[in-house]
Copies of this chain bind each other. A is one copy, B any other.
Amino acid sequence: MSFGKNISISIFGESHGNGIGTVIEGLPSGIKLDMDEIAQEMKRRAPGQNKLSTTRKEADSAQIQSGVFEGYTTGTPLAAVIANNDTHSKDYSILKTHMRPGHADYAGSVRYSGFNDYRGGGHFSGRLTAPLVFAGAIAKQVLKSYGVTVGAHISQIEHVRDANFDPVNVDATRLHKLLAKELPVIDDTKIDAIKEAILNAKNECDSVGGKIECAIVGLKAGIGNPFFDSLESTIAHLAFSVPAVKAISFGIGEQFAHLRGTVANDSYHLVDNNIKTKTNNNGGITGGISTGMPVIFETVIKPTPSISQQQQTVNIKDNIETTLKIEGRHDPCIVQRAVVVIEAIAAIAVLELWR
């Protein structure tokens, strides 16, 4: 179902259907849209960019249907459709009966009583993150007019760990630098090891997971609500709408479990007469509301379940145990393509709570 109260975002489509897309409602009118920037964002997620991802090639060009007039948002619903072009006309019918381990096939089949489109994962496909990225690109342009910038980097691939954002000093300049990189990491010395980890997995017909750390900078204090519509609730809600995300943490996250209050608390001080915290263990959020410090969160991305090794599974039509080897084009790692998706949901979350 669609997301949001202040803005409302629907995404639709199946991996091998006619088209996928989004309808975004509740945008402010009069925001000048930079179409090149939107296309660039789409390209950051698009498949087939290099040998680290699937060979499926999609232009992922979003055709805007409505809501933009003479280059500006009208404030009425903004709809965009992205065609599915590179859909192989092979026989997918085995996916109707043989459940791929780790995928949504089985849960989805039960949920929709077997009527779901199983081709290429159907509506559950990671391809549906393309309209999310589109919506995020729009959200980012709105946020830019509010002085807010969102950026993310690969913080881990398998056992390779990137540096972290400086939670107190990360700023728009540092975030923009990441955009220029093929593999967005803070510590460039880690790039080779990351590539190696991904290609090793690829060569072994396997896949790897990782983490993405995201920062929202320039966000004023006071955004978010106590309890149900907290900034953390809203970001997490959207983050877990992204396929393969299995964990999220804010600020120092798990470290809070073994720290004392004296260490964990972020003391306030004045910087140029503005209230800041000396540390930012809370990741820019207390009581569900932004503090004015950078919002920092990290998500865990599981290894893509599509691997071309034989796996044990069940044939749900005949209710018998069987094996399955998934043919076709796979990503050995989706973390690098998911970076812009995580940025997108962060931007949408902030826009939803903006006031």
Residues of chain A at the chain B interface (Cβ within 8 Å): 1-3, 5-6, 8-14, 17-21, 23, 25-26, 29-30, 63-67, 69, 72-79, 81, 99, 101-108, 110-117, 122-124, 128, 156, 158-159, 201, 204, 206-211, 220-230, 232-234, 236-241, 243, 245-254, 256-262, 264-270, 273, 275, 277-278, 282-283, 285-292, 300-307, 309, 311-314, 316, 319-321
Contact = CB atoms under 8 A, between A and B. Distances in A.
A175 B346 CA distance: 36
Given A111-B224, A275-B319, 9 more contacts: A6-B6, A30-B114, A106-B221, A233-B238, A237-B237, A254-B254, A256-B300, A257-B301, A264-B305
Contact of A76 (B25, B99, B123, B306): B123
12 contacts: A1-B25, A12-B66, A19-B65, A29-B115, A101-B267, A102-B261, A236-B239, A256-B301, A259-B302, A268-B314, A270-B319, A278-B312
Q: How many copies does the complex hold?
A: 4
B251 A246 contact: yes
Nearest to A7: B1
The 9 closest A-B pairs by CB, nearest first: A104-B287, A247-B249, A207-B261, A107-B289, A110-B222, A102-B265, A12-B77, A232-B240, A256-B302
Task: Determine the main DSSP class of A at the interface with B.
Answer: mixed
